[in-house]
Structure 1
Amino acid sequence: MPYLAHIGPIAAIVAGVLILVMPRLLNYIVALYLILDGATRLLR
């Protein structure tokens, strides 16, 4: 599953851009990022 290696960095970039555009979404973005990161690491 080579595509899983790219999910973390892409999610970080998207989260960073969303936080810059909409700072009120910080809690949701951080939570979503942590969930995606954890799921990605479990599937490796």
Structure 2
Amino acid sequence: MGLDTVASGNSRETLAKTPATQQQSILRLSVINISTSSVGK
């Protein structure tokens, strides 16, 4: 729970300062989630 709260706060700060960086972070997370799902199957 605590980590989620910290991540949300960091995301807001990053989004306000450097939107491009935030978008890249989201893309990386998406790739990781897809890879994890594939491995799970």
Q: Output the TM-score relative to the length of structure 2.
A: 0.51
- Per-residue displacement from partner, 1:7-36 (whole Å, max 9, x unpaired)? 00110000110110001113223346676x
Unaligned runs of 5+ in 2: 33-41
- Tell me the percent identity: 10
Establish whether residue 9 from structure 1 lines up as the match of residue 5 from structure 2: yes
Structure showing greater Rg: 2
Q: CA RMSD in A?
A: 2.2
Q: TM-score, normalised by structure 1?
A: 0.49
Work out which structure has the larger RCO, using CA pairs closer than 8 Å and 6 or more positions apart in sequence: 1
The list of structure 1 runs, each at least 4 consecutive aligned residues, that deviate by more than 6 angstroms after superposition, is: none
List gaps (5 residues or longer) in structure 1: 36-44
Closer/same/farther in 2, CA of residues 16 and 8 from structure 1, 3 Å limit: same
